Structure 1
Amino acid sequence: MRHVLFRSLLVGPVAVCAFAGGRAAASPDELPEALYGEWSVASADGPGAEAVQQAPSLRVRFDSDATGFRVAVSGGCNGMGGSGALHGDELGFRPLISTMMACSPPLMAADEFVAKVLEGPARFEMRADALVLRTGERALRLARKPEDGGADAEPA
């Protein structure tokens, strides 16, 4: 009886951790180092994209995490953050947390657009100093912040 209980205590959590969202979770790939750092939101495409132009100080930051990466969004109405993992060419985001402040409708709409892109999984493309995230019919183009890889940075 003790052996059965001990085995279930060991196997149970492993089985739960290996299963996510109704499908088996693959081991995450390592996020390319070029993605880490702070990005400013340069443009957006898709339903609601016009609101992003009303929030010119929107920023997205990626940092390393023991299980993948962390993401933080600031500069709109509410701060958002969460974690995720890379699987192939897709960034899988876990549910974001967010402050719940009320702001002008354009800032709230900009937050909503970014949150929908980061609901993931989002395909990503690196282009020089730009990062493009695509989810369904929405796309977010991010530009590297100068202090995180601008003119003073060493070539890769």
Structure 2
Amino acid sequence: MLLVAMTACGEGSTPVGVGPGAAGPTGVYVSQSGHELVEGTRVRVEFTDDGRLLASAGCNTMSGPVETGGGKVVVRDLSVTEMGCDPARHAQDEWLAGLLTASPAWRMDGERLVLTANDTELVMARETVPPLLGTTWVVDTLVEGEVASSVPTRATLTFSADRVAVDTGCNTGGATYRMTGNAIVFEPPVLTRMACAPEVMAVEDAIVAVMDGKAEVSTDGQTMTLSNGAKGIRMTAG
């Protein structure tokens, strides 16, 4: 993916995590409150051990060197991937990039991280990693090459030991599967055969295409992506 450089407006060159008060935030945080987000999305911010910030808001990934001294989160040269998304998610990416490049103030409220800038107070909790089995994974994004689109219905996958239950938002059913390395090999899913609106059937077609044989698995905290060739579905733990 191409990267677009965005320059922060922070001042000074305080070393990472050093400054008046407490040490800077570490680890991964996900949004709880403070800004109305596109349905099915969340803000995720990670402070890495090597002094970088990684962030996302449901579409593209942002990254850059970060300094947290003096009670500010200062991101230098923020880069943003260029995946195509629907207008609402693009606008949300722009909002998050604007927040991060405004050198927001940070404070810890117990285990919660609070970022404040641009008349916004974003409250974030430490991320927990859900198990694959027994978790209801809600499909929130369809991926076709470098283009991502939102899902107009609630579609879910729920994995048990050797079977996955599927609800496409129209039809229901399931398939057997097996794990192999960082991939899942699906047997052909068996679903009911009800007809639904074209945009809902497009979601079902995408899920079935990803479950056609071997799908690569990538996880990012509470998000899991299944990819089969150019097609993919991104899911969040429900």
1:2-81 map, 5 Å: 25-28=12-15, 30=17, 35-44=25-34, 49-50=35-36, 52-65=37-50, 69-74=51-56, 76-81=58-63
Structure number with the higher helix fraction is 1
Task: Output the TM-score relative to the length of structure 2.
Answer: 0.44
Cα distance in structure 2, aligned partners of 1:89 and 1:34: 8
Secondary structure of the corresponding residue to residue 31 of structure 2 = strand
Q: Which amino acid aligns with 1:41?
A: S
Q: CA deviation at 1:26?
A: 4.4
Unaligned runs of 5+ in 2: 1-8, 130-238
Structure number with the higher strand fraction is 2
CA contact (8 A) 1:70 1:84 kept: yes
Secondary structure of the corresponding residue to residue 73 of structure 2 = strand
Cα distance in structure 1, aligned partners of 2:55 and 2:43: 7
Unaligned runs of 5+ in 1: 1-20, 148-156
Q: CA deviation at 1:30?
A: 2.5
CA contact (8 A) 2:29 2:124 kept: yes
Identity of aligned residues (%): 30
Matched, 1:102 2:77: no
Q: Which amino acid aligns with 1:134?
A: T
Cα distance in structure 1, aligned partners of 2:105 and 2:28: 18
Cα distance in structure 2, aligned partners of 1:33 and 1:145: 19
CA contact (8 A) 2:10 2:102 kept: no
Mark the structure with the bigger radius of gyration: 2
CA contact (8 A) 1:54 1:107 kept: no
Q: Deviation per CA, 1:12-50, whole angstroms, max 9, x where unpaired?
A: xxxxxxxxx796x34326256672111111223xxxx33
| Structure 1 residue runs of 4 or more that deviate by more than 4 Å after TM superposition | 31-34
Cα distance in structure 2, aligned partners of 1:121 and 1:22: 6
1:33–1:27 distance in 2 versus 1, CA, 3 Å: closer
Q: Deviation per CA, 1:117-140, whole angstroms, max 9, x where unpaired?
A: 100311001012211111131222
User: How many residues are paired up?
Assistant: 119
Cα distance in structure 2, aligned partners of 1:108 and 1:132: 23
**Structure 1, 109-118 or 53-62: larger mean CA deviation:** 53-62
Q: CA deviation at 1:75?
A: 5.1
Matched, 1:131 2:121: no
Q: CA deviation at 1:96?
A: 0.9
RMSD: 2.7
Cα distance in structure 2, aligned partners of 1:30 and 1:58: 22
1:59–1:53 distance in 2 versus 1, CA, 3 Å: same
